[in-house]
Amino acid sequence: MAGPNILLTRIDNRLVHGQVGVTWVGSLGANLLLVANDAAATDPIQQNLMDMVVAEGVQTRYFTLQKTIDVIHKAASHQKILLVCKTPQDVLILIKGGVPVSAVNVGNMHFAEGKRQIHKTVSVDDADVDAFRELAARHVICEIRRVPDESGELISKLL
């Protein structure tokens, strides 16, 4: 049996917003938006707010990281999945758990105390850098790209 049909894995600390719920979904032809995030999985208010910006006809799922690991391989072949995580550490947990991710789109990682800006929309701390380096060691391509028609930039060149 083939693995899950993950069209794109995206890191965005905002999780789902217009760029993700409409622009990326439409560009990819995704019909399932899967948010793998422990906090969002248990917050129906946040889920409802995110659902408001998702294109019509696209299903959403809000799973913890562990549930994503447990059920992703049960995805139906017709499900075209856009997988969204909040941090590179979350993506690494999924990969270590067997979720097949070969490339990551880095959309937005806000600046905060202890972080340094490496790109217009991406700021990292040492834990983020370590996670990106481990992803690279696992041959996962991590590319900063806010929107589909923008050219990507490898994050490894910015660390």
The residues carrying an active-site annotation are 17
Q: Which residues does 107 contact at the CB level (< 8 Å), separation at least 6?
A: 10, 11, 12, 19, 20, 121, 144, 145, 146
Contact call for residues 121 and 109 (beta carbons, < 8 A): yes
Query: For the CA atoms of 35, 39, 41, 42, what is the dihedral angle to 10 degrees?
Result: -160
Q: How many CB atoms are closer than 10 A to CB 121?
A: 17
Give the whole-angstrom CA distance, residue 34 versus residue 72.
Answer: 10
Q: Which residues of 24-41 are buried (b: 16+ CB within 10 A; e: fewer)?
A: bbeeeebbbbbbbbbebb
